[in-house]
Structure 1
Amino acid sequence: MPVADGNASPRISVVVPVYKVQGYLRACLDSILSQSYGDFEVVAVDDFSPDACGRILDEYAAADSRVIPVHFTENKGIGKARDAGALRARGTYILFLDSDDTLAEGALQAIADRLGETGDPDILLLNHVRTFWNDRVQESAAGEMLAAAGTDVFTALERPDYLTMFAVVWNRVYRREFYVDDHRFTFTDGIYEDALMVYKTMLTAERIAATDHICVEYRQRRQGNSMRTPGRKHFGIFQQYTRLFEFLDERPHLEPVRALLFERMASHFLFTLAREDRIVPKDRAEFFKLSAAQYKRYKPRGFVLPEGNQGTRFQILERGSYTAYSAMTFATHTRRQVVQRATKAKTKLGKTAYNRLYRLHLRRPVDEKLAVYAAYWNRGVACNPAAVYHKAKELAPDVHGVWIVRRTEVDSVPEGVDYVVANSPRYWEVMARAKYLVNNVNFPNDIVKRPEQVFLQTHHGTPLKQMGIDQQKFPAAAKGMSFGKMLERADKWDLSVTSNQHSTEIWERVYPCAFEAVECGYPRNDVYFRSTAEDVARIRGELGIEEGKTALLYCPTVRDYQKGYVPRIDLERFCRELGPNYVVLVRTHYFYGADPNLAALQERGLIKDVSRYPVVEDLCLAADALITDYSSIMFDYACLDRPIVSYADDWEVYSRARGVYFDILSGKPGETPGATATSEDELIEVFRSGDWNSTRATALRAAFRERFVQYDDGHAAERAVRRLFLGERPSPEVLPLDERTPAPAPTPFSTARIVRQRTGENETGLVGA
């Protein structure tokens, strides 16, 4: 395949304007860089994006010389970003690709082939599909028309039907000499700039060709698309079409297509007016009035109305009667909306909550000094919400915190902590009236989030396994799940805590909702930087870990493809092979109940079953090393800078059944946290050989920490509290990684081997320690 030469001009320049798309940008760039056709460059223009987009571009540029980042020092808008990219492009052709969209497989090869077959036209029209969050794919309406063109070359006057294609610049490529050198096309300010550019370039081009190969995957974002954000900016459509007809007026030879473009304009006005996510109700009458004025101004002589309801709408637009338009267009729509809203409200309130008591509390004012906390589906005072709760008592003492707990967990609530039992009368009151909602999972569907309430979603782990809408591809993970309901719950989030950039990007993409990322670190991990050697010794004493012993914390995660807890290790053999200088703490996932086999092993003194120990952070502080598979505890434990061993005996099955974002067994820096094992024998050998704490394992852990211990520094809870309760910018600033001091390790490590005696019995200690 042809590959771009660093000195020669590439065949294709892909220009990518970038702004607030950190959750989608990697997918966009990967779709380009993985193309089979290699004679291209990527000119990516960072339009002063406030998120991590600029850093992502620089990361890709450092890894691939075909990526050329351009950074603006102020936000200028997508049009100016495209202009800058076009001027920077060296390719024979320019393809504009939006940074939340992707190139389809084989797209660049298909483009290059058709350009060659048609003798390098000024414009090549491309096919596309629309992709939706629920994995639905919709073909474009232009597929048959593009296929009919074959290898023909034509002008817009010769084939005006091609002016009816979706008017966006990313479904065509432009010959750079035609676009930049000969005509110096530039985008105008404001939205709807695509339509003007499309029509001007199409009407100027002397040679147009087409391909029906699907080249662009156009992402229909559930939220976050500027075109689907209501406001006055949509009135810019009138100026764009004024510019188009001024362009036509200066070129009398284009008169044959004036009627077609007029119809496109009027249809675009009516389409925009009908969209609630563009024109708000109070602006509709004004928008209609301006549409009618522009209709009358530019209506060509002898214009023939389209057939059916659209023709009727055109007549009403010409009359300028907003009343008539409303009567025709909105009556049925309004009736349907009333029914839908009533049904939705009843569903939200649910069978239990839809009662007089809850409705009464929902009518009362929100209590500005009340916060509700919950964790792990009301399992008690724990995790990130607990750390936020305690810090809020210090920094926002006037806000009263109340915890939601299950009836079975009441005895676990610490003394002095106010709580309510889920579904009790007071529960409905605090849920209806609390200003602040803090949870590491979602609240139930029947909870109505009022506009005045603020929901801080703290999460409870860094994602290795695929989450949110990404789970749709994995039946084991998606069984019984309604992704629509899941996103309705996530729609209630206002703030989303993250501990690293990886999480920020993942949450933004897999929960396509309108929340703000708070990159403050995980509050629960503050303890790893604030605990002392005395704290570590105290916890080990409470757990009964003898002085001088090496404690290994074993934390396997749940398997979606299995029912119940299935041991992955013969713990009796494992403990015997390691010898008495090691003690193994076993913590099963909280989804599982008590395991009698673990209880029996503990009774024999072989392990310590800490599955029901209430504070997992204490267990991490007590442990000299962590053994886990795919549990997110590895990311938290990395804060301590102690050895992590990945034991993944079912990696192939798990990764196929659950889906993962990276390969912890790859051995790549930033993916693998330390030594690895895929069988029980390998796991034993990792400890017998000293690989668990080798130089290589330490280097891997350092890279892993650099990527994932990004914002955890002991001040995460303070940053979260300042953002949520005080409305401040999260502070203090995150400390550099090399300036943080984790809690000291319990015992000095040795990398010596555990050797086997000639008699076949194990040594009882470390040789050469």
Structure 2
Amino acid sequence: MPRLSLVVPVYKVQGYLSECLDSILGQSYTDFEVIAVDDCSPDDSGSILDRYAEHDARIHVIHLTENVGLGRARNAGLEKTQGDYVLFLDSDDTLSEGALEAVAERLEATGDPDILIYDYARTYWDNRVLANQRAHLLKQQGPDVFRLADRPELLELLQIVWNKAYRRDFINRTGLTFPPGYYEDAPWTYCSLISAERIAVLDRVCVHYRQRRQGGNILKTVSRKHFDVFDQYRRVFGFIAEREQLDAWREPLFRKMVDHYLTVLERPGRLPQDARAEFFHRAAADYRTYLPAGFRRPEGGRGRKYALLERDAYAAWVGATAAIKVRRAVKKRARTAVTRSRRSAMAAFYQSQLRLPLDENLAVFSAYWSRSVSCNPAAIAAELGRLAPHIRRVWAIRPDAVDQVPEGVEFVRVGSREYWAALARAKYLVNNVNFADAVVKREGQIHVQTHHGTPLKTMGLDQQKYPASTHMDFAKLLERCDRWDYSLSSNRFSTAIWERVYPCPYTSLETGYPRNDVLVNATAADVRRARAALGLGAGTRAFLYMPTHREYQPGFVPSLDLARLADELGPDVTLMVRGHYFYGSSPHVAELRRSGRIVDVSGHHPVEELYLAADALITDYSSAMFDYAVLDRPIITYAPDWDIYSAVRGTYFDLLQEPPGVVATSQAELIRLLGSHEYDGPDAAERRAAFRRRFCEFDDGRASERVVRRVFLGEKDMLPFVPFAERPHAPTPAQALELVERA
């Protein structure tokens, strides 16, 4: 039987769950079990739990068949615990290093108390860590073990369940269970503390309490569900009424109840406006119902609030709070007027456009900071033209990139009056990066963030940990991301990362990447056409070399001797290089270029044509590997500086251990692999298959259609995915040529 049982309820935390579980499994103390309860989570959380349980027998997973809420999910886990002590941990929080060892040592030192209370710290998206403001209450003073009556100030701690270890037989003896509702911690914590005969404290931070930027705390959502607080305090006072020996706690808990009601009333973003009066009257009724005999109100402003509740004087309450709001509004209007007076004429024009009605049949597209018509936005725009031709499609293009706009595509130049008018009036805004900070998200507008790759390197808030991204303004980044309504994903791996590193109130759409539809649906004729456009002969093997950018390098640092590589591979091989790798102009390289042995395809659009034309991909850390894997063709990872890249930029997995094929860390090794055909052997194919199942799971050729139907046509049910084993993909160049020869 384990010493400690950790109950972890899980619901919609796929972006945080692995970090939570890792913080538990990485503890130096090992005598514990984890009871993880999947509360019918609609995301990938349940699968994550199962994967962890497969590798660690200490994890036991319960999958509930319906969503029952946090309290009852904890009850389900509690029933399965076997440890001497039960600890609760929310699945987006983490244990600090050495926490369980400190808890176990303190339990032993204090002779196994009923409850051990330990400290926590709040952690924020911007890496701030704030100590518990009432941590001083946990300082060891007096006896190691005591009753709450000896230290009643502990009631001033945040009343949460996950900063305590509970003796399991004490839970059973007291009959504690979690009620349903928003405020389920209140009855549990109050009733357990006033019932405990032996309490101990541990003045140590054991839990990192994640403060999600948005959407993480249900108590901060506007809803009538906050009325649940009345039921919870009814349970608290009912518990006291059934136990005469606890009557002394009636007055302290009455104060906690009133303060709690005032908090709900006063905090913005909790009660709907039309429910505030009803809540006040309910609170006033409870005040009179549970008012202890001889109770004296607090002094000052807090006492005046108590008096208004006691008299049920809602009109007076509204008048007092309205005066404060008026003063704040006057100051805000003054600041706004000053700001507007400084705006430029173009900004004023944009503001005028924002006051006009939205054009329900206008969609604005942008890709790569408005440098091209490409990527996921281009695939969505094309499908939109097929399924909803009544919606006008306009591309935002930088003035210096206008020549890249295909004939017949409507566009506006970035910065022009037409550009700002389109952004202000369009119902739909689609981008694979973020629009400029000045773009205002209007009520009724729909912003679609398509992204432009599966992340190997760290993204969003995770970049804060690595030196390559110290220049970023992460607060501004998240303000831009707040405009998203939808975030596209081609695999569950990406979904979990996006939701964690961009903690904003969007909806994740697991559709596959629209730009990859062509890699699934292209025909042999498409492959032949792509190769012909690049001048690739029938007997030529074409390797596409696509290295990624390295933020830590101030300039261009070539990692391959292309001339030598071409010579070693022989005359029947062409190297297509996407990137500015021809800064040198030696006669030998120039000759190789003239002969077609090396082709600079840096400016070739779209990149998907290069994928179709290539027999194999050579890359390092580029997201191209995830897209090219859709084709099920060989991928060679050339990573001579993996240690530096992973340390400076940070990565989500070890590419050398989980590659999509063979790996070379030197040019000599790369030449050997390519010359021996090991890059296309059975071992490489096995690794590629595993890679494809993990990262290409939604790319079945219908991603663009899914997006259009869901976002633009309003269809709620997503198109079903073609089973992985049944999906086609474009034929290889050899297969495309064979079809011609047969004909």
Report the TM-score range of the alignment, normalised by the length of the smaller protein: over 0.9
Amino acid corresponding to residue 267 of structure 1 in structure 2: D
State the 1:340 CA deviation.
5.1
Q: Please say if 1:143 is aligned against 2:135.
A: yes
Any conservation in 2 of the 1:585–1:609 contact (CA below 8 Å)? yes
The size of the alignment, in residue pairs, is: 732
Aligned pairs for 1:239-388 within 5 A? 239-329=231-321, 331-332=323-324, 335-336=327-328, 339=331, 351=343, 355-388=347-380
Read off the aligned partner of 1:169 and give its amino acid letter.
V
Distance 1:314 1:411 in 2: 70
- Within 5 Å, which residues of 2 pair with 1:385-404? 385-404=377-396
1:737 aligns with 2:724: yes
Q: How far did residue 294 of structure 1 move?
A: 2.1
Question: How far off its partner does 1:595 sit?
Answer: 4.3
Of 638-647 and 142-151, more deviation after overlay is shown by 142-151
Q: Distance in 2 between matches of 1:476 and 1:337?
A: 42
User: Which secondary structure state, in structure 1, belongs to the residue aligned with residue 159 of structure 2?
Assistant: coil
Q: Distance in 1 between matches of 2:17 and 2:334?
A: 38
1:494 aligns with 2:514: no
Deviates more, 1:470-479 or 1:214-223: 470-479
Aligned pairs for 1:640-651 (under 5 A) are 640-651=631-642
**Match of residue 706 from structure 2:** 719
Measure how far apart 1:141 and its partner are.
Answer: 2.8
Matches within 5 A, 1:126-275: 126-149=118-141, 152-179=144-171, 181-224=172-215, 225-275=217-267
Identify the range of structure 1 (63-72 vs 241-250) with the bigger mean alpha-carbon deviation: 241-250
* 1:155-202 Cα shifts (integer Å, max 9, x gaps): 2223222222211111111111221x3233211121111011101111
Match of 1:58 in 2: 50
C-alpha spacing 1:90/1:686, structure 2 compared with 1 (3 Å): same
TM, length-normalised to structure 1: 0.91
Cα 1:126–1:447, aligned 2, differ >3 Å: closer, same or farther? same
- From 90, 105, 112, give the equivalent of 1:98: 90
Instruction: Specify whether residues 341 and 155 from structure 1 end up closer, same or farther in structure 2 by C-alpha distance, changes over 3 A only.
Output: farther
Structure 1 CA distance for aligned equivalents of residues 128 and 331 of structure 2:
26
Q: Deviations over 1:270-310 (max 9, x none)?
A: 22222112123333333233223322332323434445443
Among 68, 77, 90, the residue aligned to 2:69: 77
CA 1:341–1:415: 2 relative to 1, 3 Å: farther
Equivalent residue for 1:754?
none
Q: Secondary structure at the match of 1:170?
A: coil
Q: 1:586–1:92: structure 2 CA closer, same or farther, 3 Å change rule?
A: same
* Per-residue deviation, 1:342: 7.5
Tell me the secondary structure at the aligned position of residue 744 of structure 1: coil
1:659 aligns with 2:646: no
When residues 174 and 445 of structure 1 are mapped into structure 2, their CA distance, relative to the original with a 3 A threshold, is same
Q: Distance in 2 between matches of 1:200 and 1:218?
A: 23
Residue 469 in 1 paired to residue 500 in 2?
no
Cross-structure match for 2:506: 515
Q: Is the 8 A contact 1:127 1:142 kept in 2?
A: no
Match of 2:2 in 1: 10
Q: Which residue of 1 aligns with 2:741?
A: none
Mark the CA change 1:95 to 1:350 in structure 2 (over 3 Å): closer, same or farther: farther
| Counterpart residue number, 1:622 | 613
Q: CA 1:560/1:451 → structure 2, altered by over 3 Å: closer, same or farther?
A: same
How many Å apart are 1:439 and its aligned residue? 0.8
The answer to which of 386-395 and 422-431 deviates more is: 422-431
Tell me by how many angstroms 1:613 deviates. Answer: 0.6
Q: Distance in 1 between matches of 2:628 and 2:331?
A: 51
In the TM superposition, 1:409-448 aligns within 5 A as 409-448=401-440
CA distance, structure 2, for counterparts of residue 314 and residue 608 of structure 1: 79
Matched, 1:559 2:550: yes
Is the Cα–Cα contact under 8 Å of residues 8 and 90 in structure 2 kept in the other structure? yes
Aligned to 2:442: 450
Distance 1:342 1:465, change over 3 A: farther
Deviations 1:13-64 (Å, cap 9, x if unpaired)? 1111111111111111111111111111111111111111111111212222
Q: 1:569 matched to which residue of 2?
A: 560
CA shift for structure 1 position 682: 2.0
Aligned partners of 1:75 and 1:22: how far apart in 2?
16
Deviation at 1:730, TM superposition (A): 5.1
Flag the 1:126–1:353 CA change in 2: closer, same or farther, 3 A. farther
Mapped pair 1:28 → 2:6:
no
Q: Give 1:604 deviation, angstroms.
A: 6.5
Whole-angstrom distance in 2 between the partners of 1:349 and 1:90:
67
TM-score (norm 2): 0.94
Task: Flag structure 2 segments of 5+ consecutive residues without an equivalent.
Answer: 737-743
Q: Which moved more, 1:312-321 or 1:507-516?
A: 312-321
Contact 1:349 1:447 in 2 (8 A): no
Q: Find the residue that maps to 2:158 and give its secondary structure.
A: coil
Aligned match for 1:707, one of 691, 694, 717? 694
Q: Secondary structure at the match of 1:553?
A: strand
* Structure-2 separation of matches of 1:622 and 1:350: 53
For 2:684, the equivalent position in structure 1 comes to 697
1:674 to 661, 669, 692: 661
Greater mean deviation of Cα atoms: 632-641 or 724-733:
724-733
Shift of 1:242: 2.0
Q: Is the 8 A contact 2:571 2:597 kept in 1?
A: no
Identity between Structure 1 and Structure 2 (%) = 53
Shift of 1:332: 4.1
Structure 2 Cα separation of the partners of residues 717 and 150 of structure 1 = 67
Return closer, same or farther for 1:352/1:615 CA change in 2, 3 Å cut-off.
farther
CA contact (8 A) 1:672 1:701 kept: yes
Amino acid aligned to 2:52: Y
CA distance in 1, matches of 2:133, 2:632: 55
Q: Secondary structure at the match of 2:239?
A: helix
Deviation beyond 6 Å, 4+ runs, structure 1 = 344-350
Say what the alpha-carbon RMSD is for the aligned residues.
Answer: 2.3
Provide the rounded CA distance (Å) in 2 between the counterparts of 1:167 and 1:39.
Answer: 27
Contiguous gaps of at least 5 residues in structure 1: 1-8, 750-769
Deviation digits for residues 686-717 of structure 1, max 9, x if unmatched?
Answer: 21333322222111111111100110011111
Q: Which moved more, 1:613-622 or 1:268-277?
A: 268-277
